[in-house]
A and B are shown apart, each in its own frame.
Chain A
Amino acid sequence: MMTWIFQLLVFPGLTFFVWIAFAFEWLERKTAAKIQSRVGPLTAGPKGLFQPVADYFKLIFKEEIVPRYSDKFVFLYGPPLYFSVPTIGAAFIPVLGMTGVLSHTYDLLFILFILAFSVLMASILGYAAGGRYATISIGRLVLQYTSYEVPLILSILAPVMLSRSLSLSKIVESQTNLWYVFYAPISFAVFLIVSLAELEKPPFDIPSAKTEIVAGWMTEFSGRALAYIKLTKNLNYVFLSALATTLYLGGPLLPINIQDDFIRSAVNLAGFLLKTFSVGFLIFVIKSALARIKIEQATSLLWTITTPLSFLQLLIIIILR
């Protein structure tokens, strides 16, 4: 029991993923800076590595302003709940071996639920805060969600069909020989595009487009609540990269055969980090090279291009099997 709680809360559960989230933010900021001929975070820690942590604690200690017309209960206690969503999701991801902390036979269904629930949580938070920017933002968020959910599920369906299982452990296990990215490259690409939409990154940062609606549904949040929301967005980032790793890149497994348990776990951990950061890096690069599109363009792109592409991939898989 103690081991299980330790796994859930410290490693490879909550704390571990929070630290990866900070590292992701650092990597994102540093990559963007390099691409844009800047230097990025510099002074906090080696190469500014602790800058995201410092920012987080700065926000925590800042004053929290509660708008008069907001739903105070949800406004105050919603952000921690929102934070818990990707944290629970991350507990299903296999990090050290074939199984995650909470793994069970149909955990992929639960992960789909988590992905939908994080959008729902965001809309609840936005409505609780009130304000016109939030209202518009939630309209866009929900519209965008309805557009990308179908390609998301279809792209996740490809590994499911290949492995004939709804369990992440099974999917990882069946990738020991060849990663699914080679079987289903189109699905992987669709998954990356959909991740951009889920994460509200360019070109799909429409619900939080800062030059149009300030910060979207996050506009009214400040202090502790904003710290939670920002951390959650980074955690979502990690969660989706890890999910892509698990579904298409063979999870933590590397093509090396090691007998010793401890060393194998260490190698698996290294493999997991390497793959997750690579996927994250790929997303940074794509988002840096694109401008934001409009909501109707995003909807039509997601419905008319990504959805048929995912169907095509499924068709190919069915024919080849």
Chain B
Amino acid sequence: MRRRIAIAIPEMVKTVFKVAVTKSYPFRELEVSERFRGKLDIDPDKCTGCGVCAIVCPASVITMVELGKRKIGDREVTIKRPVFNLYNCISCGQCVDDCRFNALRLTKEFELAVPDKNSLIMRKAIELAS
């Protein structure tokens, strides 16, 4: 191809009249796609406390907390519920895949920067159960 100088100028002029791609994000809401993997959410009604999510989690976000014991028939069963330390969560969604009761889901929320990271500990399931 021929060697020329300042070849990008016509395109520059064209770009000036186009709308800028920058989104004024904090002032206007940002759209994310339908499948976006954001903050984890649990439906406490559906959770049975089986503990599979705690086993599969690659980032050790989920710890099972014992809430007490209950008698079912003649067996004594420990009631457990998960606590989520969401500040460690990598949003991979493996717990969602493995949850047999569809109690978990990933929401579209992504604004997870907080001054106190303890506010990212999700205790929803315990609060409902106890």
CB of A36 within 8 Å of the partner chain:
yes
**Contact (Cβ within 8 A) B21 A289:** no
Inter-subunit contact A289/B20 (CB<8 Å): no
Q: Are A37 and B12 in contact (CB under 8 A)?
A: no
**A-side interface size class:** 10 to 19
Bound CA–CA A286/B5 (angstroms):
10
Identify the closest chain A residue to B7 (Cβ): A289
Contact pattern, B 6-17, Cβ under 8 Å of A = 1, otherwise 0: 111100100110
Measured CB to CB, the closest approach of chain A to B10, in angstroms, equals 10
A174 at the interface (CB under 8 A from B): no
B18 lies within 8 A of chain A by Cβ: yes
CB-defined interface of A146-180 with B at 8 Å, one 1/0 digit per residue? 00000000000000000000000000000000000
Chain B, interface size category, equals 10 to 19
The answer, yes or no, to whether B22 is at the interface (CB within 8 Å) is: yes
Q: A27-51, CB under 8 A of B: which get 1 and which 0?
A: 0000001111111001000000000
A288 within 8 A of B: yes
Residues in B whose Cβ lies below 8 Å from that of A37: 15, 18, 20-22
Contact: A35 with B6, CB < 8 Å? Answer: no
Structural contact, B18 and A285, CB atoms closer than 8 A: no
CA distance A286 to B9 in the complex (A): 8
Contacts of A312 in B (CB 8 A): none
Instruction: Report whether A36 and B15 are in contact in the complex, using a CB–CB cutoff of 8 Å.
Output: yes
B1-54 residues with Cβ-Cβ distance < 8 A to A are 5-9, 12, 15-16, 18, 20-22, 24
**Given A289-B8, A290-B6, do A34 and B22 touch, yes or no (CB 8 Å)?**
no
Alpha-carbon distance between A69 and B8 when the two chains are bound, in angstroms: 44
Q: How far is the CB of A204 from chain B (nearest CB, A)?
A: 14
Q: In the assembly, what is the distance between CA of A285 and CA of B22, in Å?
A: 21
User: Which residues from chain B contact A285 at a C-beta distance below 8 Å?
Assistant: 9, 12
- Nearest-neighbor residue (CB-CB) of A291 within chain B: B8
Q: Is the CB of A34 within 8 A of B6?
A: no
Alpha-carbon distance between A269 and B37 when the two chains are bound, in angstroms: 58
Report B-chain residues with C-beta under 8 Å of the C-beta of A35: 12, 15-16
Interface of B is mostly: loop
Q: A286-B6, A289-B6 are in contact. Are A38 and B12 (CB under 8 A)?
A: no
CB of A34 within 8 A of CB of B8, answer no
CA distance A56 to B112 in the complex (A): 33
Q: Which residue of B lies closest to A34 (CB)?
A: B16
Q: Which of A39, A286, A288, A290 touches B20 (beta carbons < 8 Å)?
A: A39
Chain A 282-296 per-residue mask, 1 if CB under 8 angstroms from chain B, else 0: 000110111000000
Instruction: Tell me the chain B residues, 44-81 only, with Cβ under 8 Å from chain A.
Output: none
State the Cβ distance, A39 to closest chain B Cβ, in Å.
5
A94 to chain B, nearest CB (A): 32
Cα A244 to Cα B24 in complex, Å, equals 38
Residue pair B18, A289 in contact (C-beta under 8 Å): no
- Which one of A36, A42, A290 lies within 8 Å of B5 (CB-CB)? A290
Min CB gap A206→B, angstroms: 17
A37 to B13, CA, bound (A): 11
Contacts of B20 in A (CB 8 A): 33-34, 37-39
- For window 88-107 of B, CB contacts with A under 8 Å fall at none
Contact across chains for A39 and B12 when beta carbons are under 8 A apart: no
Give, as a whole number of angstroms, the nearest-CB distance from B49 to chain A. Answer: 49
Q: Lowest 6 CB-CB distances: which A-B pairs, in order?
A: A289-B6, A39-B22, A35-B12, A34-B16, A289-B8, A39-B20
19 pairs, A vs B, C-beta closer than 8 Å? A33-B20, A34-B16, A35-B12, A37-B18, A37-B20, A37-B21, A38-B20, A38-B22, A39-B20, A39-B22, A42-B24, A285-B9, A285-B12, A288-B12, A289-B7, A289-B8, A289-B9, A290-B5, A290-B6
